[in-house]
Amino acid sequence: MERLINFIYEYRAFFTFLLLELSCGWLVVENNQYQSTKYFNSSNRLAANILGFSQGVREYFSLRTINEELAKENAELRTDLEKMRQVSDNYNPVTKDSAKADQYEYISAKVIANSINLYKNFITINRGSADGILPGMAAISNDGAVGKVKSVSENYSVLISLLNVDEQISCVIKRTNHFGSVRWDGLHMRYSNLLFIPRHATPVVGDSVITSGYNAVFPEGILVGVISQASLKEEANFWDIRIELSQDFGRLSFVEVIKSRLKNEKDSLEHVTIGEPK
């Protein structure tokens, strides 16, 4: 404290000069309209810039929360949209099927681990059995199909990515309605193969490939990719079709897990009628 007092006393002339300068400046601004206007405009602009920068910093650090809220909202909207579509497709004034209207529920989740450079790739998300997720459920993103739930703990789930040579999903060419299976060959993360399209079909580059809805896991009409190559060998029964996946798995941040309320009913009926799959 004594050193501070000595410092102020030693430079008392400078501090007195500084105080007088500030007082003069304030008097000039206070008693002259032009200087007053300039001062307040400048100070307001500086304050606005500081506040804008501060707000930008706060928004940056809250992006994660904002993205999670948006993903949750998208899942809720997709659930409502699916209900409306099912009601529209199946509405009958006499026998309205409310079960089909509520067939799918969407649960938003954040991706916390994602492999893309292996032959068998998996995705880990931050939702589990506590959120109603079970093995076998499908997962999609805003861009298209992503994969299927493989295993579940209370708070986490592991998905089989579409970038997995053991995974395949039933799809159709939207324009022609010919169905087959999309299966990755392990070569490139942006491309996969569409198998079992018969030779009498007429696929062309640019055709959309969507989920068929045949397995009660994926809803019908989820985009999987777009045909990038199509060729037919002589005497071959099926086309060789290469599709560009709609989802860039290198940029996957959020997914929506699809809960199908009618899947168990469908699987039970098929098991009783057809038997255990070979």
Q: Of 19-23, 186-190, 273-277, which gets the smallest average pLDDT?
A: 273-277
Cβ atoms of residues 209 and 243 within 8 Å: yes
pLDDT value of residue 135? 92
Residue 275 has pLDDT above 70, yes or no: no
Distance between alpha carbon 259 and the CA centroid of its chain, in Å? 17
Instruction: With beta carbons less than 8 A apart as the criterion, state whether 170 and 191 touch.
Output: no
Lowest-confidence region among 19-28, 79-88, 91-100, 116-125: 91-100
Q: Name the band, by pLDDT with cuts 50, 70 and 90, for residue 155.
A: very high
**Rounded (5°) CA angle 267-74-208:** 65
Task: Look at residue 145 and tell me whether its pLDDT is greater than 50.
Answer: yes
pLDDT of residue 260: 79
- Token match 């037919």: residue? 232
- Nearest partner of 104 among 264, 262, 255, 260, judged by Cα: 260
- Residue at token pair 């159709």: 172
CB 215 within 8 A of CB 242: no
pLDDT (tens digit, 9 = 90+) per residue, 20-63?
888 877 776 667 666 566 655 566 566 656 756 665 666 566 66
Instruction: Provide mean pLDDT across the span 134-152.
Output: 93
- Name the CATH architecture for the domain at 168-247: Beta Barrel (2.40)
Q: Do domains 84-165+251-274 and 168-247 have the same CATH topology?
A: yes
- Nearest CA to 179 among 207, 159, 206, 160? 207
Q: What is the C-alpha separation between 212 and 32, in angstroms, rounded?
A: 77
CA-closest candidate to residue 156, choices 121, 131, 137, 120: 131
The enclosing H or E element of 107 equals strand 104-114
Residue closest to 109 by CA, chosen among 123, 125, 122: 125
Of residues 159 and 274, more confidently modeled:
159
Residue 86's Cβ-side half-sphere holds a number of Cα atoms within 13 Å equal to 20
| Residue 95 pLDDT | 41
Closest CA to 261 of 68, 82, 122, 69: 82
Annotation: CATH topology of 84-165+251-274: Thrombin, subunit H (2.40.10)
- Whole-angstrom Cα Rg for the chain: 31
Q: Where are the domains of the chain?
A: 2-61, 84-165+251-274, 168-247
CA distances from 113 to 79, 140, 253 (A): 25, 16, 9
pLDDT at position 104, please?
82
Question: What percent of the chain is modeled with pLDDT above 70?
Answer: 71
Inform me whether the pLDDT recorded for 85 exceeds 70. Answer: no
Nearest to 142 by CA among 89, 94, 191, 71: 71
Instruction: Tell me the pTM.
Output: 0.67
Residue 198: DSSP 8-state: B
Closest to 131 (Cα-Cα) out of 160, 103, 152, 151: 152
